[in-house]
Structure 1
């Protein structure tokens, strides 16, 4: 149904004059008459009768008027629902304990007036599809995986290079070290059951292991962070990698150690992804906030895979 015609019908019904309606809508009286005639033809009824005083609703016009008003209200609600800035900004952070959640927390503290919906999507393909469909507005990812370039309509900005740390239990041979070099980790078992083949983090750790001759094991079920911490605390032969800004809490009795890795420092590259046609005003505010807060990208003495997007 032509909403301009419906809007014109309601305006004529309220004004009682075609000429007054034309002035109100800033169109000609002929255009008003044409819209009403088209609407009457589509409905198969007459909506107005002409009188010396102007235009009066017929019985059919009176019956249609409340429905026409509801149609216009529904159209306005539908438009408002997708109007840029009228809904919360939807951002994928992958998981709640990662540095990406900290980035969003910082943005919220800087812009408390902006509503947020925080999503947790697993893999980059799902995230990109959600960006393209409009299901989300932005996603944090390490991009782009080898042989899997991002679509041309997806834009990115590198927002954080997060140093990796070695996490050990108190009985590990490196537990007392103030820092360790990547070379010192050769021959040690680094256990990371959360690595899933086909994900960007799996590609990252595959390259890290190949570059420095490390043994990174993804064996066993991924039972979550608590089970990982329990095992590392109780098993002197195992250690794991953890992001410097990853937020984890464990009992004091675990005696876990977070040890900086140097020579070079492996950093996990977090980028923000969005669709180039997304006009949500809060998305621009998020990009500006992250760009202003970005630090350490590509710093000397750090390592990232060659396939990581630099911009």
Structure 2
């Protein structure tokens, strides 16, 4: 069994097609098919079954695929460790971040990391805090930036608090409280645009309104800050954004809240960071 055969198995599983898998692996299809046939003979089981439209994993293939991925990741990790021992950082760095990260200037940090370590392949995923925690646990993301309610802590991962910040209300320029200071109670009759219920980005706002004894109407539930801002721009409701993030939208106005919701941004990583992840963590520490 060879690593190249494992790469072919993963490529076929992900593309569902021998031709596209061969193109991804930069080999002719006949060579890829020959290698898969040899692997199946060695294993004594078929890994794929062909239909008229696509290629599907057999039960044996479904069982084999996770182990194949683990072997390839281990091989990549071994290469990276050897390179790091020689003073060179290489390999993969998968970064995750919430869309409203404000504790660091992420594009600037990524640019500096790439300058220092050009042999590292960097990817970036932007999604919610809960999903990022799970991805770090699984190992599909190496390091991630989260935003959580002040009393919450990420579990089953390594973490460090980066910054605590308050949220502000964002409104259209013609709103009667634009550029003012107010309490949450003054917004009780306003329609709100917010993240979906249960989302970490929503929790701190719900907790703050509950603590203030204020019931509010979340008319629009969204999955991204950009959509929230677009709806606010059209006068459909009031949004809540981190105070350090809101200035990115100069066409909106801010209401500073005396009893504002607050969140803490965290940097998280796995229990056994790769050399690339370790170098990234060191860069963040130096920049902090």
- TM-score, scaled relative to structure 2: 0.57
Secondary structure at the aligned position of 2:95 is classed as strand
1:157 equivalenced with 2:170 (yes/no) = no
Quick one: which of 168, 172, 177 aligns to 1:169?
172
Q: Deviations over 1:27-54 (max 9, x none)?
A: xxxxxxxxxxxxxxxxxxxxxxxxxxxx
Q: Deviations over 1:245-285 (max 9, x none)?
A: 337866x8xx5212433x3554321101111222x233334
User: How far has the Cα of 1:192 moved from its partner?
Assistant: 2.3
Structure 2 equivalent of residue 273 of structure 1: 268
Q: Deviations over 1:63-115 (max 9, x none)?
A: xxxxxxxxxxxx999734553443231111133xx225953223224432234
**Pair 142,243 (structure 1): closer, same or farther in 2 beyond 3 Å:** closer
CA distance in 2, matches of 1:187, 1:247: 21
**1:188·1:214 contact (CA, 8 Å) conserved in 2?**
no
Quick one: which of 254, 257, 269 aligns to 2:253?
257
Structure 2 equivalent of residue 239 of structure 1: 238
CA distance in 2, matches of 1:196, 1:131: 22
**2:164·2:263 contact (CA, 8 Å) conserved in 1?**
yes
- Name the Cα RMSD after superposition: 3.8
User: How far has the Cα of 1:136 moved from its partner?
Assistant: 1.0
Structure 1 equivalent of residue 67 of structure 2: none
**Pair 260,289 (structure 1): closer, same or farther in 2 beyond 3 Å:** farther
CA distance in 1, matches of 2:186, 2:90: 51
Structure 2 equivalent of residue 209 of structure 1: 209
Structure 2 equivalent of residue 187 of structure 1: 188
CA distance in 1, matches of 2:182, 2:77: 53
Structure 2 equivalent of residue 219 of structure 1: 219
Secondary structure at the aligned position of 2:90 is classed as coil
Q: Deviations over 1:224-247 (max 9, x none)?
A: 556544543443x83221223337
**1:91·1:117 contact (CA, 8 Å) conserved in 2?**
yes
Secondary structure at the aligned position of 2:240 is classed as strand
Structure 2 equivalent of residue 90 of structure 1: 94
Secondary structure at the aligned position of 1:220 is classed as strand
Q: Deviations over 1:168-192 (max 9, x none)?
A: 1122111142xx1435645342512
**Pair 259,106 (structure 1): closer, same or farther in 2 beyond 3 Å:** farther
Structure 2 equivalent of residue 79 of structure 1: 75
Gaps (5+ residues) in structure 2?
A: 2-70, 82-88
Structure with max Cα Rg: 1
1:108 equivalenced with 2:101 (yes/no) = no
**2:103·2:265 contact (CA, 8 Å) conserved in 1?**
no
> May I ask how many residue pairs the two structures share in their alignment?
208
**2:165·2:242 contact (CA, 8 Å) conserved in 1?**
yes
**2:196·2:222 contact (CA, 8 Å) conserved in 1?**
no
**2:160·2:268 contact (CA, 8 Å) conserved in 1?**
yes
Secondary structure at the aligned position of 2:205 is classed as helix
**1:159·1:272 contact (CA, 8 Å) conserved in 2?**
yes
Secondary structure at the aligned position of 1:242 is classed as strand
- TM-score, scaled relative to structure 1: 0.54
1:141 equivalenced with 2:142 (yes/no) = no
Structure 2 equivalent of residue 18 of structure 1: none
**1:92·1:119 contact (CA, 8 Å) conserved in 2?**
yes
